[in-house]
Amino acid sequence: MKTVLVTRPLPQPVIAALAAAHKVAVRDETGPMSGDEMVAALRRFDAILPTIGDAFSAEIFAQAGQIRTRLLANFGVGYNHIDVAAASAHGIAVTNTPGVLTDTTADLALTLILMTARRAGEGERLLRAGGWTGWHPTQLMGMDVSGKVLGIVGMGRIGEAIARRGHFGFGMKVLFYNRSPKTPDLPARQVGSLAALAAACDVMVVAVPGGAETRHLIDADIFAAMKPTALFINIARGDVVDEAALIAALQAGGIAGAGLDVYEREPVVPEALTRMENVTLLPHLGSATLETRTAMGMLAADNILAFFAGKPLPSPV
């Protein structure tokens, strides 16, 4: 029987699956672990089930010194908060939870597209504030998405699921930018540069993984290339986008609006964004459904169970 630390409360079936085989401690807090907590956990537990916000950096591994942990089973597909090379240098395996959150995250991208295009947040705020005086023909006119060009940045699993919804569900034409050639299972054209994609689309959605390679991939030049009528959507990681450049583009009318689920310094949301009516802001809800969060937890648990049973890992990083 191994010791396992689960760093956030998770749906009960996940804890039950782990507790049937191992000694499980659940950290009863919703916020990120402090550096001291991470160091202590690395010394004490055979496996840790961390999530976004638990920044297992090279410095933390070095500080821990005598490390007992052999597996970090991340709850989430994105693992840019874990220094995988440093973990591996300390003999720690890393797993993540791909696949199980694809549809749910793609649904949220469409939620942001539609809310922003149709000014739904603005309408709801107006109504709740008691400011609705009745229907009139020019009130809160938004933008149709049908027939518009959807530009996907990063045609991975989630990018393709967004493209499918946009094309088959809402009649959008799909263009995409991807580092390597891709042939997705829908009518879609790959373009050679991000700037070309930015110039051609009406709605741009970012769906690339976070981390050093994609940091500020979307910068002032990309916003400058976009149409002033275009919408910008991010469901990936906040630091893929230069947030200051996004704010400047919105303030200057360089783009028409934005829908954001992620931010550069979560949970900090720049005040300038909160004051803009043409921006939809959500608190990192991409995978937040009961079904999906349970499936993510079960996959993380499966990785832990397989690891200590000497079986192949379902989803190694």
Q: Please pick, from the candidates 32, 50, 78, 259, the single residue that binds ligand DGY as defined by CB under 6 A.
A: 78
Here's the x/- map for ligand DGY, 101-140, by CB under 6 A: it reads as x---------------------------------------
Q: Is 266 a catalytic residue?
A: yes
Question: Which one is catalytic: 37, 90, 215, 266?
Answer: 266
Q: Is 215 a catalytic residue?
A: no
Residue 150 CB, nearest approach to ligand DGY (Å): 21
Q: Please pick, from the candidates 32, 50, 76, 156, the single residue that binds ligand DGY as defined by CB under 6 A.
A: 76
Residue 295 CB, nearest approach to ligand DGY (Å): 11
Question: Which one is catalytic: 8, 22, 165, 284?
Answer: 284
Pick the stretch among 75-83, 169-177, 179-187, 218-226 that binds ligand DGY (CB under 6 A).
Answer: 75-83
Task: Please state the three-class secondary structure of 225-255 as a single string.
Answer: HCCCCCEEEECCCHHHECHHHHHHHHHCCCC
Residue among 82 and 226 whose Cβ is closer to ligand DGY:
82
Residue among 129 and 212 whose Cβ is closer to ligand DGY:
212
Question: Which one is catalytic: 8, 237, 243, 293?
Answer: 237
Q: Which residues, at least 6 apart from 287, have a Cβ–Cβ distance to it below 8 Å?
A: 76, 77, 101, 104, 105, 293, 296
Pick the stretch among 70-78, 112-120, 146-154, 191-199 that binds ligand DGY (CB under 6 A).
Answer: 70-78
Give the binding-site size for ligand DGY (rule: CB under 6 A): 7
Provide the 10 A C-beta neighbour count for residue 292.
19
Task: Please state the three-class secondary structure of the chain as a single string.
Answer: CCEEEECCCCCHHHHHHHHCCCEEEECCCCCCCCHHHHHHHHHHCCEEECECCCCECHHHHHHHCCCCCCEEECECCCCCCECHHHHHHCCCEEECCCCCCHHHHHHHHHHHHHHHHCCHHHHHHHHHCCCCCCCCCCCCCCCCCCCCEEEEECCCHHHHHHHHHHHHHHCCEEEEECCCCCCCCCCEEECCCHHHHHHHCCEEEECCCCCHHHCCCECHHHHHHCCCCCEEEECCCHHHECHHHHHHHHHCCCCCEEEECCCCECCECCHHHHCCCCEEECCCCCCCCHHHHHHHHHHHHHHHHHHHCCCCCCCEC
Residue 305 CB, nearest approach to ligand DGY (Å): 20
Residue 303 CB, nearest approach to ligand DGY (Å): 14
Q: Please pick, from the candidates 33, 39, 52, 217, the single residue that binds ligand DGY as defined by CB under 6 A.
A: 52
Q: Please pick, from the candidates 7, 102, 111, 287, the single residue that binds ligand DGY as defined by CB under 6 A.
A: 287
Q: Is 122 a catalytic residue?
A: no
Q: How far apart are the C-alpha atoms of 126 and 103, rounded to whole Å?
A: 31
Pick the stretch among 76-84, 106-114, 214-222, 268-276 that binds ligand DGY (CB under 6 A).
Answer: 76-84
77 binds ligand DGY (CB under 6 A): yes
151 binds ligand DGY (CB under 6 A): no
Please report, as residue ranges, which positions from 251 to 280 form the binding site for ligand DGY (by CB under 6 A).
Answer: none
Q: Please pick, from the candidates 154, 254, 286, 297, the single residue that binds ligand DGY as defined by CB under 6 A.
A: 286
By the criterion CB under 6 A, which residues form the site for ligand DGY?
52, 76-78, 101, 286-287
- Catalytic residue annotation: 237, 266, 284
